[in-house]
Every structure is written in C-alpha cells, then in structure tokens.
Amino acid sequence: MMVLPAPAKLNLFLSITGRRDDGYHSLQTLFQFVDYGDSLSFAPAADGELLLTPALAGVPCEQNLIIKAARLLQSKTGSNQGAHIHLTKRLPMGGGLGGGSSDAATTLVALNRLWKLGLSTDQLAELGIALGADVPVFVRGQAAFAEGVGDIFTPASPAEPWYLVLCPALEVATAAIFNDPDLPRNSKTLSLQQWLNTPWHNDCEALVKKRYPEVAKLLGWLLEYAPSRMTGTGACIFASFNSREAAEKVLAKAPQGVLGFVAKGCNQSPLFSALAQLDTIDSSSNTAI
C-alpha cells in the first residue's frame, strides 16, 4: 500500500489580466504549497476495478476527481490495472485551497507509480489539465509563478513563512466568480521580478467579500493581527507569521465556529518529499535483496 499527501496550495497573489474568447481568464498568480492537506492511500486491485472510500458528501463517486483521474490514466494508457483508494479529507471544498485538484494530482502520480506506467511529469501534467486548472502545478510539485490561463509556469522560491489559514463555513463556486460582470479583469501584466517588488493582492477578493459578508468580516478580523489575503476564488483566507507559535496564538483567538489550521509554506510539494522517501525505502530494500 502507498500512502501519499495531497497538500493545499495558496495563491500568494492572484491578478486577472484579461478574458479570452473561450471565456477563460488570463491571470498571473504565485502558487505555494503548505504542509497540510488530504491524505490518500492506494492498494492494487485486479481487473481494472476502481474503488474509492469513503464517498464525499455531495460528490457522486464518478464525479470525484480522484476516480476521474484514475479513469483518465486507464484510458490514456490502456491499462487494465485497478486500485482501492482511501481518502482522508481535511481540506474544505470550494475553499480556494485546491483540494480536489491536489487529490487528482496525487492520484495521477501515485497510480503512474503503482501501475508502473512510466509516464513523465510533463505527460501527467498534460493529462491533469483536463481535470482542473490547478492540477498541473500539483503534479509538478514546485512553487511557481503561473501565467496564461494558469498553465504557463516559471518555478519560484518565495519565502516560506508559517501561515494561519481560516476557512469560513461556505463554498465558493469558482465559475460563478469568474462569470460575475463585477470581477476586475484589467490588471497590468507584470514580470515576476516586478511582482516581487510590488504589494500583493487578489483580484477576486473584493467581489467575494461583497457576495459573502462573512468573508469580509473574517478578513477584517485577521488583518488586525498580520498581513492577510484570500486564496484563489476563496472562501479561505490566510495570514503569514514568522513562527508556528505566533500563528497558533491567533488561531486560538479565532471567532467561534471558524475552522482553520496552521501550516508551513513549502516551495517543494510535500507530495514530492514523500515520494523521495519512498524512493529511499525502495532502493534500500533492493540493496537488502
């Protein structure tokens, strides 16, 4: 059995620079991972059987991005191997933390290995786009400045502070935010170097605050303690701190009923740190034989 993490991502900034004819938006964003997220285990199964436990509330199994990723891999490679997959879900859905995309990416990477398919990272990332805009960055596993519709990556190494992430109890539908006429779509295109010397913002934040006053209220509260912003299209917000203790102190004061977590920013995805450990175990057991 193989157990692997599916970490959350944060959009350290998110700037929308235009809208294409197909309705997709051109954007500039800086992705960083955190060492907190879902966890998946994979065991081989015969006859192409795919079983996911437990089911996610409100998501039929065939719509779950984990099963979609596994089926996509089967159909693209003609593999008739199967898997029993167990999901420990920790990330809120519709929170802008990319949980579904991360689950899908971990599934692509894990099954490629379990089924010995030999696809390259580029091939897996290419497959991932069909599942969601954020899947490729999770497959590549490196903090990155993304442009285009979020599909052109430049590796980046922002500071790796401690984050307090707060999750208002609501789901934001990404498509609804991108389709709202009030979304600003004309931000200036900057180089990564210019971004590193400019205050960061999220172009979706004002709109989400307007549509969801709970987000506005919580962000107002968090800003009292540290620089804070929304991730992706929300609803989660995050603040950065110099130490775990400082972030935990603020979490302890969070308004009643607000869920959140403290995690470290990581420029290498915890998925790849876990895979590197598996490689070490594999090579030492080969030596033993």
Ligand X SMILES: Nc1ncnc2c1ncn2[C@@H]1O[C@H](COP(=O)(O)OP(=O)(O)OP(=O)(O)O)[C@@H](O)[C@H]1O
Largest interatomic CA distance in the chain: 63
What is the closest distance, in whole angstroms, from the C-beta atom of residue 154 to ligand CDM in the complex?
15
Does a cis peptide bond (omega within 30 degrees of 0) precede residue 92? Answer: no
Among ligand CDM, ligand X, none, partner that 150 touches (CB below 5 to 8 angstroms by kind): ligand CDM
Give yes or no for residue 32 binding ligand CDM (CB under 6 A): no
Q: Which of 6, 11, 142, 250 binds ligand CDM (CB under 6 A)?
A: 11
Is 92 annotated for ligand binding? yes
- Candidate residues 79, 174, 268, 273; the one interacting with ligand X per rule CB under 6 A: 174
Q: Which is nearer to ligand CDM, 12 or 117 (CB)?
A: 12
Instruction: Spell out the SS3 assignment of the chain.
Output: CEEEEEEEEEEEEEEEEEECCCCCEEEEEEEEEEEEEEEEEEEEECCCCEEEECCECCECHHHCHHHHHHHHHHHHHCCCCEEEEEEECCCCCCCCCCHHHHHHHHHHHHHHHHCCCCCCHHHHHHHHHCCCCCHHHHHHCECEEEECCCCEEEECCCCCCEEEEEECCCCCCHHHHHHCCCCCCCCCCCCHHHHHCCCCCECCHHHHHHHCHHHHHHHHHHHCCCCEEECCCCCCEEEEECCHHHHHHHHHCCCCCCEEEEEEEECECHHHHHHHHHHHHHHHHHHHC
| Binds ligand CDM (CB under 6 A): choice among 138, 153, 178, 238 | 178
Among 43, 93, 129, 192, binds ligand X (CB under 6 A): 93
175/276 with CB nearer ligand X: 175
232 is a contact residue toward ligand X (CB under 6 A): yes
Choosing from 65, 69, 109, 237, the residue that interacts with ligand X (CB under 6 A) is: 65
Q: Which does 94 bind (CB under 5 to 8 A by kind): ligand X, ligand CDM, none?
A: ligand X
Q: Does 25 bind ligand CDM (CB under 6 A)?
A: yes
Give the contact letters, 43-62, x = binds to ligand X (CB under 6 A), - = no: -------------x--x---
Q: Which does 64 bind (CB under 5 to 8 A by kind): ligand CDM, ligand X, none?
A: ligand X
Question: Which of 158, 232, 265, 270 is the binder for ligand CDM (CB under 6 A)?
Answer: 232
Confirm whether 9 is a catalytic residue. yes
Query: What string marks each residue from 131 to 160 as x (binds ligand X by CB under 6 A) or -?
Result: ---x--------------------------
Backbone angles phi, psi at 155, to 5 degrees: -55, 145
Instruction: Give the integer Cα–Cα distance in Å for 283 and 215.
Output: 48
Residue 151: active-site member: no
93 contact, one of ligand CDM, ligand X, none, CB 5-8 Å limit per kind: ligand X
Is residue 167 classed exposed, middle or buried when 0-12, 13-18 and 19+ CB atoms within 10 A define those classes? Answer: buried
User: Which are the catalytic amino acids?
Assistant: 9, 134
Interacting residues with ligand X (CB under 6 A): 56, 59, 63-66, 93-101, 103, 134, 171, 174, 232-233
